[in-house]
């Protein structure tokens, strides 16, 4: 283990072992800080084991586990407090030392140090600090208390961040419970999309016009819309910071900010998206291109990809495959088209009950399944896709695949402004109780939709069930009561296995199958024309006319 000395009283390193303790004691170290979460890799010494052995060497050990991408001001404050309370040299460790030196640098920024000088110092020690200033700009501003002087634009008793499926629906549901409630929605977009319709555009069944409406037309009457984006959460002050630099203060906050489609995580993808046969139903406006490609392909190779979980609508990558296969089968050219599905996961679908039906369609379309393969690079002009996978020897290997058409489902993560905020968990998602949907640390904050860390399928169907839970529990809070509504993890995924039929997956937390309809009417694990009719006609109507208007038919939560 190499010790990197940052200054006379602070050093960092990669993973510590028991054998390293005597040398650290000799170097005068009195405090050890473990920034690597226990169990990150197999065989890693546990924190408790190191703490017990270090005590015998006269050193105190503190456990402050972080993930580099989600370091926030609370982590830095805790790290700074440990530095301040030590009566001797401090050594911190993680996997490589990067997390520890990042926390130390941010603690110095809090005391007025220059980020550029700190980045240069860390770079000289061999750490990649190239994006330090931009990556942690919001955290630094919060640490320096830059927002203390930010002008207050408005006080909003009830503030909702995000005007997507969750934000609009919960505002409408709250107004049904309490007409006249003062609600403000912060949302930067001019358009509101019905995203479940994107798959149907890619399959030639819907047009673009069916899935979009002006944002102004879906904001409930009486709700104030602030057309801006939030860049930072300040929950200790009950404020959010906007792109303009102004603040909004609130008494209660609901966050439904969706997730980030991380196109940039795949080398070369952004440059070629929408050209060279590269498409994605996940990008508004691009699903049309999917259908153009499907219609234009008469022979060659069509490649479909799925990134690591979590993603929104986990079935959408394979839905694109099935509808394409369905068209090629109907138009008689399937025999000349090779279909490949490269899936970073290990199974076709996370809930086993639906897999046999899906597998039959994989066979019908003669699609080749490649599990454990993650798209890392796209060379559009040369029509090459590169996948990383773990080979038989356990090493990461790469394989290059030629394509005529490539449908990409992008990697997905929590939005940046949430990931580095005190509202996030270690993985960057909003940290809420999975049943009450109330934030685990801030009692006046609730979250719903794709941005939270609840372990359900990220779908509009899940949002539909979450909305009454948040509305009930927040309404109870307004009356100084504790709400008792609970979200059971319901999510649904209508898998469009062919034009005219759907396998309707419906399940709760833990993958427990939970059909809405009696099986004589609709057996979810069997391809059904009724489910297709619902997807085409009923569900969009339910979305626009019931869900976004606060009508909660069939969504009453458990108490
Ligand atoms: P969104 O509806 O994405 O809304 C988030 C909102 O937050 C957006 O309006 C955004 O502009 C706003 N926002 C972002 N950043 C900020 C900021 N900084 N400040 C303020 N506001 C911000 N679900 C199903 O149930 N069935 C399906 O068949 C289905 N198919 C799908 C197919 C595809 C291709 C896709 C992409 C999604 C599909 N979904 C499906 C998933 C479903 O659309 C989402 O789960 C749902 O829209 C999540 O709602 P949300 O409110 O959490 O996020």
User: CB–CB of 136/420 below 8 Å?
Assistant: yes
Q: Whose CA is closest to 60, among 92, 37, 36, 38?
A: 92
Rounded distance from Cα 414 to ligand 1 centre (Å): 12
Active site residues: 313, 493
Dist CA 451 CA 447 (whole Å) = 8
pLDDT value at 484 more than 90: yes
Say whether pLDDT at 558 is over 90: no
- Using the mean position of ligand 1's atoms as its centre, give its distance from the Cα of residue 10 in Å: 44
**198-257 per-position pLDDT tens digit:** 999 999 999 999 999 999 999 999 999 999 999 999 999 999 999 999 999 999 999 999
46 and 11 Cβ atoms separated by less than 8 Å: no
Fold (topology level) of 4-144 = 3.90.190
Q: Before 310, cis peptide (omega within 30)?
A: yes
Residue nearest to atom 2 of ligand 1 (CA): 164
Over residues 61-87, the mean pLDDT reads 95
The whole-number pLDDT of residue 395 equals: 86
Burial letters for 440-453: b for 16+ Cβ neighbours within 10 Å, e otherwise? eebeebbbbbbbbb
- pLDDT bracket for residue 393 (50, 70, 90): confident
What would the pLDDT profile of 510-521 be if each residue is shown by its tens digit?
A: 999 999 999 999
199 lines ligand 1 (CB under 6 A): yes
Q: pLDDT digits over 431-466, tens only?
A: 999 999 999 999 999 999 999 999 999 999 999 999
Does residue 196 line the site of ligand 1, with CB under 6 A? yes
As its CATH architecture, domain 263-413 has: 3-Layer(bba) Sandwich (3.50)
Does the Cβ of 417 fall within 6 Å of ligand 1?
yes
Supply the CATH classification number for the domain 152-259+414-549: 3.50.50.60
The pLDDT of residue 557 is 86
Which tens digits make up the pLDDT trace of 288-334?
999 999 999 999 999 999 999 999 999 999 999 999 999 999 999 99
The backbone torsions φ and ψ at residue 498, rounded to the nearest 5 degrees and listed phi first, read -160, 165
- DSSP-derived secondary structure for 315-362: THHHHHHHHHHHHHHHTT-GGGEEEEEEESSSSS-SSGGGHHHHHHHH
For residue 103, give the nearest of 117, 114, 93 by alpha carbon.
Answer: 93
Q: In whole angstroms, what is the distance from residue 557 CA to residue 464 CA?
A: 10
pTM for this prediction: 0.94
Give, using CA atoms, the residue closest to atom 12 of ligand 1. Answer: 162
Query: Does ligand 1 come within 6 angstroms of the Cβ of 465?
Result: no
Mutate which of 161, 162, 198, 409 for ligand 1 pocket (most atoms within 8 A of beta carbon): 162
The whole-angstrom separation of Cα 483 and Cα 13 is: 47
Mean pLDDT along residues 105-130: 96
**3-state secondary structure at position 211:** helix
pLDDT value, residue 357 = 98
The pLDDT tens digits for 2-32 are 999 999 999 999 999 999 999 999 999 999 9
Locate the ligand 1 atom nearest the alpha carbon of residue 287 and give its number. 34
- 464 touches ligand 1 (CB under 6 Å): no
For residue 60, give both structure tokens. 């105190």
Tell me the percentage of the chain whose pLDDT exceeds 70: 100
| H helix runs in 479-534, sequence order | 529-533
Q: How far does residue 164's CA lie from ligand 1's centre (Å)? A: 6
Same fold, 4-144 and 152-259+414-549: no
Contact 461, 516 (CB under 8 A): no
Say how far apart CA 305 and CA 343 lie, in whole Å.
6
Residue 475's pLDDT is 98
47 lines ligand 1 (CB under 6 A): no
Give the Å distance between the CA of 106 and the centre of ligand 1.
33
> 349-371, pLDDT tens digit by residue?
999 999 999 999 999 999 999 99
Q: For residue 485, with 0-12 CB atoms within 10 Å meaning exposed, 13-18 middle and 19 or more buried, which class applies?
A: buried
Cβ of 75 below 6 Å from ligand 1:
no
Residue 294: closest CA among 404, 410, 369: 404
**Could you state, in order of their start, the residue ranges of all structural domains in the chain?**
4-144, 152-259+414-549, 263-413
Contacts of 119 (CB under 8 A, 6+ apart): 105, 129, 130, 132, 133
Whether 201 lines ligand 1, by a CB cut-off of 6 Å, is no
User: For residue 461, what are the CA distances in angstroms to 28, 318, 341?
Assistant: 58, 18, 25
Helix (H) or strand (E) holding 279: strand 278-279
Residue 498 pLDDT greater than 80, yes or no: yes
Name every residue whose Cβ is closer than 8 Å to that of residue 520 and which is 6 or more positions away in sequence.
Answer: none
Of all protein residues, the one whose alpha carbon is nearest to atom 11 of ligand 1 is 189
| Residues 6 or more apart whose Cβ sits within 8 Å of residue 171 | 160, 183, 185, 219, 220, 223, 550
CA of 296 to the centre of ligand 1 (A): 30
Return the ligand 1 atom nearest residue 464 CA.
Answer: 25
- 39: pLDDT strictly greater than 80: yes
**Looking at 10-19, 185-194, 307-316, 387-396, which range is the least confident one?**
387-396
* pLDDT at residue 433, as a whole number: 98
Pocket test for ligand 1, best of 321, 459, 540, 555 (most atoms within 8 A of CB): 459
Distance 28 CA to ligand 1 centre (A): 53
pLDDT bucket at 1, cuts 50 / 70 / 90:
confident
Q: What is the pLDDT of residue 392?
A: 80
Average pLDDT, the chain: 96
């Amino acid at each position: 283990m190499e010790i990197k000395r940052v200054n006379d009283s602070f050093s960092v390193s990669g993973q510590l072992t028991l054998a390293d303790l005597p040398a650290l004691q000799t170097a005068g170290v009195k405090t050890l800080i473990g920034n690597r979460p226990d169990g990150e890799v197999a065989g890693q010494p546990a924190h408790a084991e190191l703490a017990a052995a270090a005590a015998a060497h006269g050193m105190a050990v503190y456990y402050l586990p972080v993930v580099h991408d989600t370091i926030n001001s609370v982590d830095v404050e805790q790290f700074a407090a440990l530095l301040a309370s030590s009566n001797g040299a401090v050594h911190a460790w993680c996997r490589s030392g990067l997390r520890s030196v990042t926390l130390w640098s941010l603690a110095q920024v809090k005391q007025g140090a220059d980020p550029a000088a700190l980045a240069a110092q860390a770079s000289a020690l061999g750490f990649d600090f190239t994006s330090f200033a931009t990556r942690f700009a919001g955290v630094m501003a919060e640490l320096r208390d830059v927002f203390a002087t930010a002008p207050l634009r408005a006080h909003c008793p009830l503030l909702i961040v995000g005007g997507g499926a969750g934000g609009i629906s919960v505002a409408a549901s709250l107004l049904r419970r309490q007409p006249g409630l003062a609600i403000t929605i912060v949302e930067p977009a001019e358009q509101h999309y019905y995203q479940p319709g994107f798959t149907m555009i890619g399959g030639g069944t819907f047009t673009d016009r069916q899935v979009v409406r002006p944002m102004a037309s879906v904001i409930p009457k009486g709700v104030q819309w602030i057309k801006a984006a939030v860049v930072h959460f300040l929950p200790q002050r009950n404020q959010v910071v906007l792109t303009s630099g102004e603040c909004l203060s609130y008494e209660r906050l609901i966050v439904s900010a969706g997730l980030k489609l991380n196109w940039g995580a795949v080398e070369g993808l952004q440059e070629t998206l929408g050209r060279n046969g590269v498409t994605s139903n996940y990008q508004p406006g691009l699903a049309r291109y999917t259908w153009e490609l499907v219609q234009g392909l008469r022979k060659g190779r069509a490649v479909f990809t799925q990134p690591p979980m979590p993603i929104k609508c986990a079935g959408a990558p394979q839905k694109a495959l099935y509808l394409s296969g369905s068209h090629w089968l109907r138009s008689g050219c399937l025999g000349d088209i090779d279909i490949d599905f490269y899936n970073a996961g290990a199974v076709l679908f996370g809930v086993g009950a639906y897999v046999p039906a899906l597998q039959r369609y994989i066979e019908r379309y003669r699609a080749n399944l490649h599990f454990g393969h993650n798209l890392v690079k796209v060379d559009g002009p040369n029509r090459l896709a590169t996948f990383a996978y773990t080979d038989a020897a356990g090493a990461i290997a790469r394989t290059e695949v030629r394509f005529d058409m490539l449908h990409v489902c992008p990697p997905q993560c929590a939005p940046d402004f949430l990931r580095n905020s005190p509202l996030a968990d270690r993985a960057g998602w909003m940290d809420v109780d999975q049943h009450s949907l109330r934030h685990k640390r801030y009692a006046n904050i609730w979250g719903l939709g794709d941005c939270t860390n609840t372990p359900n399928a990220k779908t509009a169907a899940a949002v539909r069930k979450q909305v009454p839970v948040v509305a009930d529990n927040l309404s109870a809070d307004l009356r100084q009561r504790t709400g008792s509504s609970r979200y059971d993890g319901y999510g649904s995924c209508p898998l469009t296995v062919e034009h005219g039929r759907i396998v309707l997956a419906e399940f709760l937390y833990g993958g427990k199958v939970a059909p809405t309809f009696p099986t004589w009417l609709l057996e979810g694990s069997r391809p059904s024309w009724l489910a297709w009719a619902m997807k085409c006609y009923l569900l969009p109507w339910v979305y626009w006319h019931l869900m976004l208007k606060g009508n909660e038919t069939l969504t009453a939560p458990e108490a």
